[in-house]
Structure 1
Amino acid sequence: MAYSRRLFVFGMAAFLAACQSRSQKQAALDAGLTLDPDGTPDYALAYAARRDGGFNLPAIDYLATDPQYWRQTVRYPTRHEPGTIVVDPSNKFLYFVLEGGRAVRYGIGVGRAGFAWNGEAVIRFKREWPKWFPPDEMIEREPHLEKYRDGQEGGLNNPIGARGLYLWQGNVDTLYRIHGTNQPQSIGTNASSGCIRMWQQDIIDLYDRVELGAKVVVLG
């Protein structure tokens, strides 16, 4: 009997370890990550330098940022359907809702405009390496931006970054954007300007997941 109990305990431990391993692997896959040989997510690969749209994106110094802002799969029970984006400006998180009460969570940086609007909208446009149009009030504060009144072409120096998601309510542009950034150190912080900014590698990942017409919920 003692032998049988030991065998049962050993079997259950092996079973639970295998389940945990599968769960970790699935969580990494859901977040678009691969696993190191030791079973941990390979963030060095996820945030490595890459070529995109004719531009050489630099690697992200992710180790200099709190790990809670690294892309990861988390438990996220919600009434919103899979495919919905939920933005939590106060906590500097963006969630892409998955099935089964889970979500891919990304760290974000939030400028003043990021706190100026909340509610529900849809993604009407998606743009790769979009133009940036500085608001009039920004040009007033920083006159050297006058040269970009008609737009700054996409590129590594463009503050919109590699991708832009444009939020509309019906036929009204909210002027609220989810976009990349050329200031990676701003993730997890209250940035000086802009809406919702993400690491370039993360906005590319989100861009590839989200569909036109997807609902976006911005928490107050």
Structure 2
Amino acid sequence: MRTRLIFTGRRFRRAKPGEPYEITLRSARDWAPVSKKVVVDLTTTGVGQEWTADAPAAFWRSFAAIDPADGEAAASFCRRHGEPFDRLAPDKPASTSDWLELLDALRAAAGAWEPLGPDGVSRITRDSDRLRSARCFLRDRNLTIENDVKPEQNFNTGGFHNRAKVLFAFMIQSAGHHLENETPMRACIECLDYFEHQRSDARFCSGRCHVAYQRRSAAKNAGNA
């Protein structure tokens, strides 16, 4: 049975990165310096474009691979999916410094999968240490999102589904679903986002990416004619 996870977000096609800069991370207990990280600020213009999901999505693995100092990678994610904490707006820049804990959590979850194999599929690992680390994320995730994912009644079926209020909660809930189900994944050949491997001939994460790939290929072929 298909798992329903409802989310409505906003992507920002005009998201742009600033210059990288260094911050000092401090201990929550005594505020002592712990380490330094390089991050970037992100800005945008326009109100963005609304998008919706009705099931878990695997692009959380693509987010987990982002270097917070890589402004273009961070801005590209916001163009496709939005800012994880809903902090980006035309008059309100966001910073990848806010992403650090989320990145650590989702990287732990992503460690449960092997790299893409010769058949283009990434499958769950059988490495017990990596699985143990990933399952720690699984145990803790409800504490992280308990106020941001709420059960909601489906009046058409009489059942219930979950609704994520913020993108970061949607990604954490999706990661938990994929870990529990040991979901195999592919990477879209257009945007490189991961998606659930359900058909052996699937190469795109969405119809939008399929159309973009076809247009780009047609333009390239016309240029070579």
For the criterion TM > 0.5, the same-fold answer is: no
TM-score range, shorter-chain basis?
A: under 0.3
The alignment's TM-score, normalised by the length of structure 1, stands at 0.25
More helix by share: 2
The alignment's TM-score, normalised by the length of structure 2, stands at 0.25
Larger C-alpha radius of gyration, 1 or 2?
Answer: 1
